[in-house]
Structure 1
Amino acid sequence: MEDIQDILALDAGFVEMFTRGTAIYWALFILLRLAGRRDVGSMGVADFLVLVLVADAAGNAMAGDSTSVGDGIIVVATIVGWSVVVDRLGYSSPLLRKWLEPRRVLLVRNGRIVARGMRQEHVTRTELMAQLRLLGIGRLDEVQRAYIESDGQVSVIRMSERTDGETSTLEE
């Protein structure tokens, strides 16, 4: 049986594993950002399959020929580290946030579908109606605003009973 030092010994070295982890993290980040929020926000069987295949391919690319637990720990720490850095940068810098996180897109305004937003996000009328039904909305004219958020979820502001002209404080 191998002793713990052999198991944790670095096969490829810290710099190589850090570089591999960094390269794969940013390549996947950019690819997923370009893929669009709908593809990331919901997960069907095909989406899950792509996730598993990407994880396997990325794992092989990050590890190379390494079989060391130590090398694996470096890669995992690198990925978690980049995730924390990106999260903190997005929080503290509005300028970077617009590049790191997609803005919400308007899909419905005052009970009418916004075709531009639907096209931009490749959302069909059927998909939108299904999301509205899941939120307990039976008719389009009940919706003041509907957005696809940065995480791919649909959010809705219902028509209010007020007639005083006030707007929602939830809209930016």
Structure 2
Amino acid sequence: MLEWQSIFVPALPLLEGAVRGTVMFFALLALMRIAGQRESGGLGVTDVLIIVLVAEAAAPALYTQDSTLTDSLIVIVTIVFWSVAVDAISYRLPVFSHLVKARPKPLIRDGQLCRRTMHREFLSREEVESQLRLHGIQDMSRVQQAYLEPNGMISVLTRDGEGNAPVEKPEAL
């Protein structure tokens, strides 16, 4: 027999669920900002954060580990609320945006590698040259600017003023 109360009645006070979601969101956001952006791939740091938090918040309710669906939903709603709130606040307040949103980092300026960024993001010269080749560039001196973008991709502007799109992999026959 199903015990409806054990499924829907919160085991935690509502405020505690909201506080847990708030603390986890900002703690993981800070950790992701400190860790850097290189490994996040095509998703933005905030996207990864939301996916991880929502999965973690949903897991206890899915596996009945001392948590009801309502407890998990409260935490998930809180996480999504803070995600939207952080985006809205950073849109309206650029100062706040610089604190919570990743910015492009220079990798190459006037054909010269920016060693500081490479050191911070653990990028070797070979990895940067590999990315340039994907953009169809053999000679680094042709690069006016190259940036490590917030989504982990590298954008390149050549001296002729044009950006180069990465060469796509040919499809298998």
TM-score if structure 1 supplies the norm length?
A: 0.74
Quote the Cα distance in structure 1 between the aligned partners of 2:56 and 2:115: 37
Contact 2:107–2:147 (8 Å) recurs in 1:
yes
Alpha-carbon spacing, 1:93–1:62, altered in 2? closer, same or farther (3 Å): farther
In 2 relative to 1, CA 58–125 (structure 1 residues): closer, same or farther, beyond 3 Å?
same
The aligned amino acid for 1:129 is E
2:101 matches 1:98: no
Aligned residue type for 1:22: T
Deviates more, 1:153-162 or 1:140-149: 153-162
Counterpart for residue 156 of structure 1: 156
Q: Secondary structure, in 3 states, of the residue corresponding to 2:127?
A: helix
One-letter amino acid of the counterpart of residue 34, structure 1: I
Q: Contact 1:12–1:66 at 8 Å: present in 2 too?
A: no
Report the AA paired with residue 114 of structure 2: V
Structure 2 Cα separation of the partners of residues 78 and 133 of structure 1:
44
Displacement of 1:152: 2.3
CA shift for structure 1 position 135:
2.4
Q: 1:86-125 residue pairs with structure 2 within 5 A? A: 86-125=86-125
One-letter amino acid of the counterpart of residue 25, structure 1: F
Which stretches in structure 1 are left out of the alignment for 5+ residues? Answer: 44-50, 163-167
Counterpart amino acid of residue 39 in structure 1: E
One-letter amino acid of the counterpart of residue 72, structure 1: S
Cα 1:67–1:6, aligned 2, differ >3 Å: closer, same or farther? same
> Are 1:17 and 1:62, in contact at CA under 8 Å, matched by a contact in 2?
no
Distance 1:101 1:160, change over 3 A: same
Counterpart secondary structure, 2:39: helix
- Which whole-Å deviations, capped at 9, do the CAs of 1:20-63 have from their partners, x for residues lacking one? 111111111111111011133469xxxxxxx9xx7699549988
Conserved 8 A contact 1:36-1:121: yes
Q: Is the contact made by 2:58 and 2:72 (CA closer than 8 Å) also made in structure 1? A: no
Instruction: Provide closer, same or farther for how the CA distance between residues 124 and 62 of structure 1 changes in structure 2, counting only shifts above 3 A.
Output: farther
Query: What is residue 24 of structure 1 aligned with on the other side?
Result: 24
Secondary structure class of the residue paired with 2:98: helix
Alpha-carbon shift at residue 11 of structure 1 (Å): 1.2
Q: How many residues align?
A: 154
Runs (5+) with no aligned partner, structure 2: 44-48, 164-173
Q: In structure 2, what residue type is equivalent to 1:29?
A: L
The whole-number CA distance in structure 2 between the counterparts of 1:12 and 1:129 is: 53
The residue identity in structure 2 corresponding to 1:23 is V
Relative to structure 1, is the Cα distance of residues 76 and 35 closer, same or farther in structure 2, using a 3 angstrom cutoff? Answer: same
